[in-house]
Every structure is written in C-alpha cells, then in structure tokens.
Structure 1
Amino acid sequence: MSNSPSPTASSALSRPLILLVSIACGITVANVYFPQALSPLIADDLHVTSSSAALVVTCAQLGYASGIFLVVPLGDRLRHRGLVTTLLLITCAGLVLAATAPSLPVLAIACALIGLATVVPQILIPMAAGLAAPERRGAVTGTLLAGLIGGILLARTFSGTLGQWLGWRAPFLVAAALDLVLAVVMAVALPRTTPSTGRPYVKLLASCVHLLRAEPLLRRSCQYQALVFAAFSAAWTALALFVTGPRYHLGTQAVGVIALVGAASMFATPVAGRRTDRHGPDALSPVCMTAAVAAGVLLLTGNLGGVVGLVGLGAGMLLLDVAVQSGQVANQARILALRPEARARLNTAYMTCAFLGGSAGSWAGVRAYTAFGWTGVCTLVALLAGLALLRHTLRDRSTPPATTHLVLAGSQPPSKSDGTDGLPATRLPR
C-alpha cells in the first residue's frame, strides 16, 4: 500500500487542488531564496562584510538539504496533511526568529531552521505524482514546478523591494504571516492519505541511502542536478554582490527586477513536462545542460556595465533559470517513475544531493566573485554545467533510454532483499 489517496481521493486531484499545491510550493520554497537579495542590507545593518552576510544563504540551503534528508522520508510514513501543517508552523517560528535576530550567528541559525522545516514542496510533489495518472505525471510535475520556480524567482523581487523600503527584517515577518495562513489552508484542503510503510525512522533513512546505491538512474539524476543547481546558486548568490557593487552601484531592488525577468521561466516548465511525457527525460536533459553553458557565456555581458550589461544579465539569468528548472522536470519525472511505493524516499535522495550541490555553489560563487570578479562566476557557471553535459554524454547507452512510464513495467514479484519495503528492484539503464 502506498502513501496514496484513499479510494475517493484520486478524483481529488482537480485543477483547483493542483493550483493550490503549486501556490503552496512557491510560497514555501521562497523562504530559502529570498535572503539572497538581502545580503547587502544585512551586511550594513549588522556591521559585517558582504561575504559574511552571504553565508546566511548557504546556511538556509544547508538547512534545506538537511531537511530533505531528515524530514522528507516521513512522507512515506506519515499522513501528508498533518506533516505539511506541522512543518509550516515550525517554519513560521523560524521566520519570526530570523526577523528578530540581533546578530549574524542568530540569523544564520534561524535560516538553517527555516531551511530544515520548509521542505513542504518536496513532500507535496511526490504526493501529487502519486495522485496523477502515469501519462499525466510529467505535466502535473511541470505545473507544480512552475509554482516552485515562481516562488524561487519572485522571492528575490519580493525581498529586494520590501527590504529596500522597510529593511531586511520585513520580508521575514511577511513570509511568516503567509506561512501561517497557508498552514490553515493546507490543514483543510489536502486529501487524506495512507502511509506506505511503518518502518522505524532510522531504517527509513537507511532506505534512502540504499535507493541511491541501487538505482543507477537516480544516481545519474542526482549528479545532473547537483552540478547544474550549483551553477544556478553560484550565479544568484554572486549577482546581489555584483549589481550592488562598484560596476553598477544599484540597490537590492535591481536584483528583484532581474529576478522578475527570470520568473518568466515558470512558463517553460509545463512545456518541459509535456515534452518529457512525449519523448522521455533523456531527450530533454542535454538541451537543458547546453542552455546552462550558454547562459554562463551570456552572463559575461554583465561586465559591459550600463543598460547593455543589465539586459545581458537579465537574459543570461532567464536562460539559466529555464535550463535549471526544465532539467528539474526531466530529472524528477525520471526518478518518480522508478518505485511508486518509495516516491518520498527517492525524492529525498535526489533533492538532498541537489541542495548539497546548491549549497556548495553558493559558497563557491562568493569565493569566485571575491577572487576573480564576475568573470570568475560566469566561468564557474559554464564549467559546472559543462561537467553535467559531459556526464550525460558518457552515460551507459547499452540499454534503452529512460521514459516517464517505467512504473508501468514493474510487474516482477516483490523481493524483500533490497531493504526498501519489498519493492521490486528495477532494471534500468545507467
């Protein structure tokens, strides 16, 4: 039995519910990203260096990666409605703590707590994948990721603009209020689900590690996203330092405007989902990686300064956003089709690797900018995306490519030898 809807709940995956879950993904994931536009304001108010203030972003992403590994597996063990509501309330507490933080260490701890608890999208997406018909799974995932992307990108517009007007603490307070309202709505609207396992928590975590060892397609998807998402995080973390620095002398609102341009990428993910349903994820992944390399090159035009440089930055970040988020659609369609009874744990392994890559990218982006300027950041972006493309090129082609409907082929009798609740071990290409 899966952590899936009760017999009447399959019909509950209506368009209004998909829209609501998509909005919830955007609101919650924004908590990890809106501090990226605030680091210059935090540095000024708390009297620390810009690079030290940027560590707040790294702490939030490390907290998010930890939450994905430690909390998301509970999506296979607990009912979604109660788990999601509890996490939203914890996130509210963390946001209030961040808004009242008297020093950088307290703020960093608060952001780590926020990241740890705000993993709601990584619980909702596998839930929706289980509710969706297999032939619509890519399209539904793409729609939810459109909301996720909107949250990621509009978060910087929201925090950059509000922070410029009311100070860096205001975005944390507004986010806390939004999460509180969302907690009430989710407690009412989410369908009733039945847990797929009663395994002890420690064994549940061990199962995530086992899946990473046992599934070649999962490992490959993790490598793709860790590299490309590291490039994405490096660019966005360094961008706030660049546009507020000596080249442009702009405020954090400029970061918000660039993010607003990049938010157009949310319209690309439903298209990516339909293409994944039609052609399979392996047809989309190399296109996304190539686009990310091109984005690194295009971002170099930011060194020109003035209007031309700002247009180049906007275009480059838009292309990078489209590449990363469309690649995410392909990767999640690939992994969520592997073992339907373990979707939360598959997503745990995948997203933990992705956000560890993102955390490393944020750290590396600040270091590259400090040592080599914006050119160093652009080179890092292109290099990381190029490594992902090389990994895809060198994949094992001795077996047929992955499709989004592999779940339909899993008709072998269950075997309990793999340590994942007796789920059949899929035989999939590397």
Structure 2
Amino acid sequence: MSRRLLLLLTITCGVAVGNVYFPQTIGPLVASGLRVDPESATSVVTAVQLGYTAGIFLLVPLGDRLPYRPLVVVLLGLTGLGLLAAGLAPGLRLLVAANALVGIATVVAPIIGPMAAGLVADDKRGVVSGTLLSGSLGGMLLSRTVAGTLGEWLGWRAPYLAAGASVLFIAVVMARVLPTTQPSSGQRYLALLAEPLRLLRVEPDLRRSCYYQATVFAGFSAVWTTVALLLTGPTYRMGASAVGMLALVNAGTMLCTPIAGRQVDRRGADRVNLVCLLGVLASAAVLAFGGLGGATGLAVLVLGTLLLDIAMQSGMVANQVRIYALRPEVRSRLNTAYMTCAYLGGSVGSWLGVQTYARFEWSGVCGLLVLLAAVALVRHLAGEMPASGTTRQADARHTTGEGSRSPRCGIG
C-alpha cells in the first residue's frame, strides 16, 4: 500500500460517499424546483439511502468473488450515469428512482475498505481504515457544501450533473491505478448473498458492531436530514448553502478518524466505542439548544453537529477494525453485513427524523438521538462484562501483530 495509492483510494471513497449525502442539502431546492412540499422532497434522501443499503447487500459481497479493478470501475460508471439521469429528471418520481439507482451503484467505499485492509499489516489496519474513512467523511461534508452552493447559484440540477461528471472521471483514473487482485472465493452469487446472514448468526462481535452503528447512524441521519428543514424554516430563514456551510465547518472531523484508528490499534475497539457513544449523548444535549435560533442557536448547531460527526465516524472506525480482524478471507462479506445494517439504520433514521420533526420539531429530533444512543450504550455496557473471546483475541492480534493477511489482496 503506497501513499499514492492510499490517497487515490481515499479520494475515491469521498467522491462515492458524497453521492449519498449531498441530496440532504438541496431538498428545499428540489421542493421549490419541482413544486412539491418539503416533506415530499425528503423522499429523495430516503431513496438514495435505501438504494445504498440494497447495493451494499447485493454488490459488496462480489468483492470476494471478482477482481477489484473491474468491479470498482463498472460501479463508478453506473453511478455517474445515474447522477446524470437524476440531473435531467423531469419530476419527483423519476428523480427518486434515479437516486435509488445511484445509491445502489455508489458502494465502492465498502468494497475498497476490505481491499485496503488486506494490503497492510494488522497493526496498521486501524490507521488505514481511519484514513479511508476520513476520505468518506470529507466527501460527505464537502459534497453538501458544494451542492448547496451550486444549487443556489444554478438550481438543484447542477449538483447532480457536476457529481456525475466527477464520478465518471474518477472511474477512468481507477481503471489505471487499482492493483490487480485475485478473488478469495469461488462461491456462486446466491451463496455469497447468504453468507453475510450466516456470519451475522455465528459471529457475536459482528452482531454488536452492526447494532452499535445502526443505532448511532440512525440518529446521525435523523439530525442531518432535518437540520436542512430547521435552517431553511421560520426559525433561521436561511438558504440551502447554509446547510452546506454547516457541513463544511465540520470538515475538521476528517482529522479525527485517523487519530481514532490509532487509538483502536493501541487500546482496542471496545474502549473507543464507549467514548463515542458518550459523545453522541453529549452532542444531543448540545443540539437541543439549536432550536433557539439566532447566533447562539447557530453556534450550538455547529458545535453539536461537529461532536456528533466525530463520535459517529470514530465509532465506525472501531467497529470496522473489530470485524476485519474476525476472518480475513471473508472481509467483503463481513463488511456487507455490517454496512447493510448501518445504512438500513440510517434509512430508518432519516424517515423517523422527518416524522418526528413534523410532530415535535427540533427538540423531538434531539430526543430521538438521545433514545437511539442510549439503546446502543445500554447494549455496550451489558456486553462489556462477559466480553467475548473473539474480541479479546482480535485485540490481542492488534497488539502483537499476529494474524494472517488476506491472500486475495496481494498486488499481482
């Protein structure tokens, strides 16, 4: 794993993941441009997240069955075409359908993660996972900023068209730089699809990693889906670019995920998870004052969303390092189970956030975040005392550098 390759993979993760999140910023612009109510426009966000969940389940297992280079390039190409179709959609229904297609295809980040984990030594896996996640986070944040600004200048279609062109360019680059790899599995496709479900049944550490991320990501999605409604509503009366600028302020989170990865390598995933869950609860307490409006409320939103982003992303690093240490030969399928659960939670969280905001406004969304984080924290504390042998062995491998590297990820 050269630094150049790691940088390019990090950029690719950011470009791909950004496609899932920038629709959160331009929802009000879509509503006015297509003459629908804002709540209906949020169905675009739900569609792309549900599509992403489906894509993870249906396509990420192919990372164990197919060489990475053609798989990643084809998915990037389909994503670019889907984004262009969304930018040209004449109505909400076709826009929702195009976003679902984009979500299904833009799953290269969870495919790249297992590949990169197999290209480095065990004691560097946390740092590499954190670096890739910082790229995903950068795409998540910067895509919102760019989309909000472009949308206000040129209309809601511009972000989709610009994203489509960017993804197609990245596809050409990846066709040239990705290493040649050999598949680790010869299983049939249907058997690959069944494997993540079997792994969920037999791997307790995988189940709890999925549980932590699904609940926390649900709260995260609820906040970021409804913060656009808050900022553009009567409390603040701002434009879509304000949502993007709020995300840009949180770009500092990109610096935290590699640090979190180092802490996981040194202290183990469980300790980092505990700190992150407490951080999510603290962010909910801060965000609750965001409904005040004015400069004070805006400052609170900046601080609260920053804390939420750091806690959620750092917890994701811990969870991924835990599952990558379980079985190197099935990392893509482990990641399929994990990411499917995470984004299913995110999709449900977006829907719950909109419903909660409609009935209880911003304070209700903050209460929902508290509830979800508390459920995850109770599960973590209940399982910490009888910690599984798998976790202890995984932490030991990180400490001693033991464990095998995946044979499929060598450069050939």
TM-score bracket, shorter-length normalisation? over 0.9
TM-score, normalised to structure 1's length?
Answer: 0.91
Q: Which residue of 2 aligns with 1:201?
A: 189
Higher helix fraction (1 or 2)? 2
Asked if 2 retains the 8 angstrom alpha-carbon contact of 1:337 and 1:405, the reply is no
Structure 2 counterpart of 1:216: 204
Does the CA-based 8 Å contact 1:138-1:404 persist in structure 2? no
After the TM superposition, which residues 284-299 of structure 1 pair with which residues of structure 2 at under 5 Å, given as runs?
Answer: 284-299=272-287
Q: Deviations over 1:25-48 (max 9, x none)?
A: 001100010000010000011111
- The answer on 1:188 being equivalent to 2:176 is yes
Q: Which residue of 1 aligns with 2:254?
A: 266
Of 8, 14, 19, the residue aligned with 2:7 is 19
1:386 corresponds to 2:374: yes
Shift of 1:410: 6.5
Gaps of 5+ in 2: 405-412
**Residue 351 (1) aligns with residue 351 (2):** no
* Contact 2:122–2:403 (Cα < 8 Å) also in 1: no
Aligned length: 399
Give 1:405 deviation, angstroms: 5.3
- The answer to whether residue 128 in structure 2 is matched with residue 154 in structure 1 is no
Q: 2:305, 2:295 → 1: CA distance?
A: 15
1:369 to 357, 362, 365: 357
State the distance in 1 between where 2:395 and 2:234 align.
Answer: 48
| SS of 1:395 mapped into structure 2 | helix
Verify the 8 A CA contact 2:142 2:247 in the aligned structure 1.
yes
Q: Structure 1 residue 396: deviation in Å?
A: 5.4
Distance 1:410 1:270, change over 3 A: closer
Distance 1:336 1:252 in 2: 38
Query: How many angstroms does 1:404 deviate by?
Result: 4.5
1:94 equivalent in structure 2: 82
Worse overlay, 353-362 or 203-212:
203-212
Residue 105 of structure 2 corresponds to residue 139 of structure 1: no
Q: Do the aligned residues in 1 keep the contact of 2:223 with 2:353 (CA within 8 Å)?
A: yes
| Structure 1: segments with no counterpart, 5+ residues | 1-12, 412-430
Identity fraction in percent: 56
Written as runs of structure 1 = structure 2, the 5 A alignment for 1:8-407 is 13-395=1-383, 397-398=385-386, 399=388, 401-402=391-392, 403-404=394-395, 406=397
Give the AA of the match of 2:7.
Answer: L
Q: CA RMSD in A?
A: 1.2
Alpha-carbon contact 2:122-2:397 (below 8 Å) kept: no
State the 4+ residue runs in structure 1 displaced beyond 2 angstroms. Answer: 396-411
1:6 matched to which residue of 2? none
Structure-1 separation of matches of 2:302 and 2:224: 11
Q: Distance in 2 between matches of 1:14 and 1:288?
A: 30
After TM superposition, the structure 1 stretch with the greater mean CA deviation from structure 2, 395-404 or 294-303, is 395-404
Q: Deviations over 1:37-71 (max 9, x none)?
A: 01000001111111110010000000000000000
SS in 1 for 2:323: helix
Indicate if the aligned counterparts of 1:69 and 1:348 stay in contact, CA closer than 8 A: yes
Shift of 1:208: 1.1
Which residue of 2 is the match for residue 5 of structure 1? none
Deviations 1:182-222 (A, max 9, x none): 00110010100000011110001111111111100000000
Would the aligned equivalents of 1:134 and 1:405 in 2 still touch at CA under 8 Å? Answer: no
The answer to whether the Cα contact below 8 Å between 1:65 and 1:352 also exists between their aligned partners in 2 is yes
* CA distance in structure 1 between the partners assigned to 2:300 and 2:321 by the alignment: 32
Change (3 A) 1:185 1:313: same
Structure 2 length as normaliser, TM-score? 0.95
Q: Deviations over 1:62-120 (max 9, x none)?
A: 00000000000000000000000000000011001100111111000000000000000
Post-superposition Cα deviations, 1:247-305, rounded to whole Å, max 9, x if no partner, equal 00000011011101112111100000000000110010010001001111101111221
Query: Quick one: distance in 2 between partners of 1:311 and 1:383?
Result: 24
Whole-Å separation in 1 of the counterparts to 2:14 and 2:47: 20
Cα offset for 1:383?
1.2
User: Letter of the aligned partner of 1:367 in structure 2?
Assistant: Q
Residue type at the aligned position of 2:62: L
